[in-house]
């Protein structure tokens, strides 16, 4: 049997999964990653804890699988995107905590870039909006606020990386400084047309080029793990940011194929092939995982509050004692009774981009119960995702393509049958849940397997993908349109000044 090891470094935990060549999980291990909140709006991680938890889970997964590292053909890495690490090249020590993708401290710098008229240039080169979400202004903040950092950077003494680069540096004892195109594409410093760091953007943000890692295709030979770490030198053959890795793990390899990850937030990506396609509907364009040197692209939209609305029902309203209870509570009523929940706890993301929006519940009557609110809360995840997919389909049709014909789903909340059926009803297309829902780690394993010869091409991977359940629309299209119109009305009420 051939084995592949995936390191899945996420925002709240580090995990490692051993897969066999058929994409089945053999063993896995997970450790929680502590969150650091220095002040409101700031989120940090200790980079050394990222590394130590990730290494520990890799060792645990191999032990649980009962295999030696020499039996692993290749290793893949997938990671939380945009999180920014800056470290000393000689000592390997971080100069500051990692600034996490959720962190908003760099918003004033972004506002200045927008005010100075740079947004159009940045968007045309990177496909991104100017936002503190991305790495560039986080790195700029570190250079400006860590004593001596800018001077050290200009002397070539520091290295910048997203989490994948930091892990590879540690896995090679500081011998390799590299990233892949999907992670580079989330920095706001990478030209996704040329697949290179952009000198104009580096100069604009005063980022010394010496900080930047080399960039490779997502399936390529990045390095070999130092033998003393896992017991044998394993080829690192695949790297991709978590959402692009999930798109790959869902076998969405061609234009028009789409997946939605239902986690704390929701991340919807649609492959657009080798064509860079700008959105007219509030989405961003990003690099898809690239098995070769040929650029591949995806459109992406993010829902800020997805499964987190269930946590709010549990911890805020105390309507349920555990998240698993929400489906039965919601199913105790036939519908939401006209209640609409817009969970804009931290504003609204794509396609609305309304940071000032706040959560609202509308349509309340004397007959409204907690069950109606629970159902409306669950349905809000589907409404937000439907708004994203409809926006993507409009962009696809405008570019001469076809609307999305099927949505593949993963993430923790995709196990909720009520939510998945309502999603299919709103969209009017099948919603398909795969047999293996750990698609983020699976994508990294597949990329590693491709570059190491386990698989002959993406056709082999498509043949491995299996559906566990297909949710077929049962709602009349006119009724679905009516419900979406009610949702959009509720969104307008949530965004009133």
Can you tell me the distance from the alpha carbon of 171 to that of 22, in angstroms, rounded to the nearest whole number? 26
Report whether 360 belongs to an annotated binding site: no
Report whether 81 belongs to an annotated binding site: yes
Could you count the other beta carbons within 10 Å of the beta carbon of residue 378?
25
Residue 400 class from Cβ within 10 Å (0-12 exposed, 13-18 middle, 19+ buried)? exposed
Report whether 79 belongs to an annotated binding site: no
SS3 277: coil
* DSSP 8-state class, residue 35: -
Give ∠ CA 129-130-132 in degrees, rounded to 5: 115
Report whether 440 belongs to an annotated binding site: no
Report whether 11 belongs to an annotated binding site: yes
Report whether 133 belongs to an annotated binding site: yes
Cis status of the peptide bond prior to 181, with omega within 30 of 0: no
Report whether 307 belongs to an annotated binding site: yes
CA distances (Å), origin 320, targets 327, 342, 365, 451: 10, 19, 21, 46
Can you tell me the distance from the alpha carbon of 136 to that of 205, in angstroms, rounded to the nearest whole number? 7
Report whether 261 belongs to an annotated binding site: no
Helix or strand holding residue 28 (H, E)? strand 25-32
Nearest Cα to 392, choosing from 287, 491, 290, 285? 285
Can you tell me the distance from the alpha carbon of 230 to that of 138, in angstroms, rounded to the nearest whole number? 32
Residue 394: both structure tokens together = 């409009």
Can you tell me the distance from the alpha carbon of 160 to that of 188, in angstroms, rounded to the nearest whole number? 14
Q: Are 182 and 295 in contact (CB under 8 A)?
A: no
What region does 148 belong to: left with phi over 0, alpha with psi -120 to 50, or beta?
A: left
Residue 449: both structure tokens together = 């397997």
Helix or strand holding residue 161 (H, E)? strand 158-161
Residue 335: both structure tokens together = 């519908």
Q: Are 191 and 125 in contact (CB under 8 A)?
A: yes
Report whether 83 belongs to an annotated binding site: no
Report whether 327 belongs to an annotated binding site: no
Which position has the token pair 């600034």? 99
Which residues fall in the annotated binding site for ADP?
Answer: 11, 15, 264, 307, 412, 416
Which residues fall in the annotated binding site for sn-glycerol 3-phosphate?
Answer: 11, 81-82, 133, 242
Which residues fall in the annotated binding site for ATP?
Answer: 11-13, 264, 307, 311, 412
Which residues fall in the annotated binding site?
Answer: 11-13, 15, 81-82, 133, 242-243, 264, 307, 311, 412, 416
Which residues fall in the annotated binding site for glycerol?
Answer: 81-82, 133, 242-243
């Amino acid at each position: 049997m051939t084995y592949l090891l995936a390191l899945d470094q996420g925002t709240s935990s580090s995990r490692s999964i051993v897969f066999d060549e058929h994409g089945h999980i053999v063993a896995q291990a997970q450790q929680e990653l502590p969150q650091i909140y220095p002040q409101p709006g700031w989120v940090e991680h200790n980079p050394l804890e990222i590394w130590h938890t990730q290494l520990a889970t890799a060792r645990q997964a191999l032990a649980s699988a009962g295999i030696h590292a020499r039996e692993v053909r290749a290793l893949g890495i997938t990671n939380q995107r945009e999180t920014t690490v800056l470290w000393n090249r000689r000592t390997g020590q971080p100069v500051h905590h990692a600034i996490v993708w959720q962190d908003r401290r760099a918003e004033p710098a972004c506002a200045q870039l927008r005010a100075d008229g740079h947004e159009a240039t940045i968007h045309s080169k990177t496909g991104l909006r100017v936002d503190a979400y991305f790495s560039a202004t986080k790195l700029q903040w570190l250079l400006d606020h860590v004593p001596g950092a800018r001077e050290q950077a200009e002397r070539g003494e520091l290295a910048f990386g997203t989490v994948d680069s930091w892990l590879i540096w540690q896995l090679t004892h500081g011998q390799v400084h590299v990233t892949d195109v999907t992670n580079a594409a989330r920095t706001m410093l990478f030209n996704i047309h040329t697949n290179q760091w952009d000198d104009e953007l580096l100069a604009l943000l005063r980022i010394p080029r010496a900080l930047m890692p080399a960039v490779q295709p997502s399936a390529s030979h990045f390095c070999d793990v130092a033998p003393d770490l896992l017991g044998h030198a394993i080829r690192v053959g695949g790297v991709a940011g978590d959402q692009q890795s999930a798109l790959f793990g869902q076998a969405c390899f061609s234009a028009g194929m789409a997946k939605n990850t239902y986690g704390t937030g929701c991340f919807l990506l649609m492959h657009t092939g080798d064509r860079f396609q700008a959105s007219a509907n509030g989405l961003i364009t990003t690099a898809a995982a690239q098995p070769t040197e040929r650029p591949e692209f995806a459109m992406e939209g993010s829902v800020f509050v997805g499964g987190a609305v269930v946590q709010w029902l549990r911890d805020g309203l105390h309507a349920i004692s555990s998240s698993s209870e929400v489906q039965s509570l919601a199913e105790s009523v036939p519908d939401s009774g006209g209640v609409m929940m817009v969970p804009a706890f931290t504003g609204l993301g794509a396609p609305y981009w309304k940071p000032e929006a706040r959560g609202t519940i509308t349509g309340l009557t004397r007959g409204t119960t907690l069950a109606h609110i629970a159902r409306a809360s669950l349905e809000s995840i589907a409404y937000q995702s439907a708004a994203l997919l409809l926006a993507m389909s409009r962009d696809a049709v405008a570019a001469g393509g076809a609307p999305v014909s099927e949505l593949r789903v993963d993430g923790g909340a995709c196990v909720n049958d009520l939510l998945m059926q309502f999603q299919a009803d709103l969209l009017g297309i099948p919603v398909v849940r795969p047999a293996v829902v750990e698609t983020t780690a699976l994508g990294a394993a597949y990329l590693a397997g491709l570059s190491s010869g386990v698989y002959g091409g993406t056709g082999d991977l498509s043949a491995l993908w299996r559906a566990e359940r297909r949710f077929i629309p049962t709602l009349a299209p006119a009724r679905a349109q009516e419900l979406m119109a009610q949702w959009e009305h509720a969104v307008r009420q949530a965004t009133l000044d």
